[in-house]
Amino acid sequence: MPAVIVLGAQWGDEGKGKATDQIGQRTDYVVKFNGGNNAGHTVVVDGQKYTLHLLPAGILSQGVTPVIASGVVVDLDVLFGEVEEMEARGVDCSRLLLSASAHIIPPYNRLMDQANERARGNNLIGTTGRGIGPTYADKMNRIGLRVQDLFHPQELRAKVEAALAPKNTVLKAVDLPALDPAEVSDHLLSFADRVRPMVCDASLVVNDALDRGGTVLFEGGQATMLDIDHGTYPYVTSSNPTAGGALTGTGVGPTRIDRVVGVAKAYTTRVGEGPFPTELTDQVGEDLRARGGEFGATTGRPRRTGWFDAVVTRYAARVNGLTDICLTKLDVLSGYDTVPVCVAYEVDGARTEEMPLDQASFASAVPVYEELPGWSEDISGCRSFDELPEAARAYVDRLEEVSRCRIQSIGVGPGREATIVRYPLLG
């Protein structure tokens, strides 16, 4: 299959980095299509842990060309800091391509993120404070800076000055430092020579690769339930991590896509504010967090934990047109006597198996659980479905049934090799 989208089917942190790395080893291009350094993908290769923020997971596979597409917002300080870190560890970053149309996160938008959160008072969104939202807002307001602007200094300086004037007023009002437009411009322009060799027309690169019969994996940051249009608004990210975002963020048409793979944990987690019907706020939730190492790869924040939510997964399957699910962290559930699965909600006394119409109803939804038998065996060494304990196999089969989408692979540990492939995606 020459074109595969890999995205999050829950609230993020599902293990997309590992899934992208696993599938991407057999592709020609891995294309990051949305978001910025507000999320991290963790990949373990030969026992070595790599945390990627802006770099596509394909950077870790020889022979793969990693591409940062137009839908991504790029903090140049973070990008080159990450490149330097990877190169120091022996990773070849010379293959990296960067869309000329990708937007740049200027220093003032990191401050604007702080200013916006201060202004919200107790009504926090839970932003990571990395300037992602303000940069997407500038993009929509048509005052953003793009990578291509680095090669036109006079125009970039004029854009920075125009954008920064009203922002400095806001920053001063919330006791944050105003910035000098000349200093900001000089800092951004200092990256021009380093950026130039990697700049490309990402849409042309990807479409040409598909025309030649090449294989392309589209890597999504964040997740379906954080989508600006289809997530739990306003507790969402500022981009489209759904399948449609892969198309608009890269510049390819829908007829070019062959598979859409949603990555889902065998349980559920969420970072930041917002509704979470299956959240466990007791000792069981603390235990699940400890077992799964549920702390943000980018922020270090503890993740909220809960049981698997089939309503959310069915919604993700519908919104994205999922053809497959990569189920991750099944090994974390070993040792529980029973494992609950949310198969429906009760909203205002009525049962529903679909996502509630409005956010108020979703926030008040009470999960309807089905208790499945647990298993005690360590499954981290299993490499085929038949090697799993009977109860673990039954759990996976039931998740497949209630999610209404086939489970293509099962993660039983953090490493590349700790995966059970039930149905090959690539020939």
225-258 pLDDT, tens digit each: 999 999 999 999 999 999 999 999 999 999 999 9
Could you tell me if 87 and 234 lie in one domain?
A: yes
pLDDT of residue 25: 77
DSSP string, 52-77: ESSS-GGGGSTT-EEEE-TTBEE-HH
Residues placed in the known binding site for GTP: 12-18, 40-42, 303, 329-331, 411-413
> 285: closest CA among 301, 269, 264?
269
Residues placed in the known binding site for substrate: 297-303
Could you tell me if 331 and 400 lie in one domain?
A: yes
Q: Which domain holds residue 290?
A: 264-421
pLDDT of residue 404: 96
Q: Are 71 and 249 in contact (CB under 8 A)?
A: yes
Asked, for residue 218, whether it belongs to a domain, the answer is yes
Asked, for residue 427, whether it belongs to a domain, the answer is no
Give me the active site residues, please. Answer: 13, 41, 139
Could you tell me if 275 and 379 lie in one domain?
A: yes
In this structure, what is the dihedral angle of CA atoms 22, 23, 24, 29, given to the nearest 10 degrees? -170
Could you tell me if 182 and 210 lie in one domain?
A: no
> 71: closest CA among 243, 188, 231?
243
Average pLDDT estimate for 129-156: 96
Average pLDDT estimate for 66-78: 98
Asked, for residue 210, whether it belongs to a domain, the answer is yes
Asked, for residue 426, whether it belongs to a domain, the answer is no
Is the link from the previous residue into 234 a cis peptide, with omega within 30 of 0?
yes
pLDDT, mean over the chain: 93
Asked, for residue 390, whether it belongs to a domain, the answer is yes
* Domain termination site, one of 195, 216, 247: 195
Helix (H, G, I), strand (E, B) or coil at 286: helix
Could you tell me if 349 and 288 lie in one domain?
A: yes
Residues whose CB is less than 8 angstroms from the CB of residue 155 and which lie 6 or more positions away in sequence, other chains included? 149
Helix (H, G, I), strand (E, B) or coil at 296: coil
Helix (H, G, I), strand (E, B) or coil at 346: strand
Average pLDDT estimate for 188-202: 98
What is the tens place of the pLDDT at every residue in 54-66?
999 889 888 999 9
Could you tell me if 239 and 382 lie in one domain?
A: no
Burial of 158 (0-12, 13-18, 19+ CB in 10 A): middle
The CATH number linked to 404 is: 3.90.170.10
Could you tell me if 176 and 295 lie in one domain?
A: no
Residue 317 pLDDT class (50, 70, 90 cuts): very high
Asked, for residue 303, whether it belongs to a domain, the answer is yes
Task: Count the domains in the chain.
Answer: 3
What are the C-alpha distances in Å from 178 to residues 129, 138, 143, 168? 17, 18, 18, 5
Average pLDDT estimate for 210-218: 95
In this structure, what is the dihedral angle of CA atoms 39, 44, 50, 52, given to the nearest 10 degrees? -30
What is the tens place of the pLDDT at every residue in 16-52?
888 887 787 789 999 999 999 987 777 877 788 888 9
Residues placed in the known binding site: 12-18, 38-42, 128, 142, 222, 237, 297-303, 329-331, 411-413
Could you tell me if 297 and 417 lie in one domain?
A: yes
> 20: closest CA among 50, 300, 169, 11?
50
Residue 295 pLDDT class (50, 70, 90 cuts): confident
> 139: closest CA among 39, 238, 31?
238
